[in-house]
């Protein structure tokens, strides 16, 4: 996809909607590799120069999400990537797998999640 003002606005709007559904604070969104490289090295450490390889990357500790618009081909892939990265933010303890994919599908289906709290 080609990044323009309208697409940037649409992405930020979707992030706002899904962040509210997932009961997380709205993360800072990066849409180009230039924006990733412009961030402080401490924030993007580990996936700084390799971020361009992925559809999206979550920098959970700093509440930053990179959505690689250049690799995304259509609207459905864009929405899946946004939800995928925000699920990482909402469930920081969960790695990729069957449960994680189930949460992504639920997020896409319109589910809402209570705020994260540690178990007692």
Q: Average pLDDT of each block of 10 consecutive residues along the chain (120 residues)?
A: 93 97 96 94 88 92 95 95 96 93 96 84
Q: Which of 14, 117, 32, 33 is nearest to 75 (CA)?
A: 14
pLDDT of residue 117: 77
* Angle between helix 98-108 and helix 75-90 axes, rounded to 10 deg: 120
DSSP of 72-87, one letter per residue?
--SHHHHHHHHHHHHH
Per-residue model confidence (pLDDT) at position 111: 95
pTM as predicted: 0.92
Question: Phi/psi at 54 (nearest 5 deg)?
Answer: -100, 160
Q: Pick from 20, 40, 17, 18: which is nearest to 30 by CA?
A: 40
Residue 49 is predicted with a pLDDT of 85
Question: For residue 14, what pLDDT is reported?
Answer: 97
DSSP 62: G
| pLDDT score of 4 | 94
Q: Please give the pLDDT value at position 48.
A: 85
Inter-CA distances, 69 with 36, 75, 83, 115, Å? 13, 11, 14, 28
């Amino acid at each position: 996809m080609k990044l323009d003002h309208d697409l940037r606005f649409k992405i930020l709007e979707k992030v706002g909607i899904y962040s509210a559904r997932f009961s997380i604070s709205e993360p800072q969104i990066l849409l180009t590799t230039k924006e990733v490289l412009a961030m402080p090295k401490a924030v993007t450490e580990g996936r700084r120069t390799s971020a361009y390889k992925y559809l999206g990357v979550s920098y959970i500790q700093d509440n930053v999400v990179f959505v690689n618009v250049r690799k995304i081909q259509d609207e459905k892939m864009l929405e899946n990537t946004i939800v995928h990265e925000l699920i990482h933010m909402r469930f920081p303890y969960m790695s990729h797998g069957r449960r994680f994919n189930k949460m992504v599908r639920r997020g896409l289906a319109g589910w809402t999640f209570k705020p994260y709290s540690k178990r007692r």
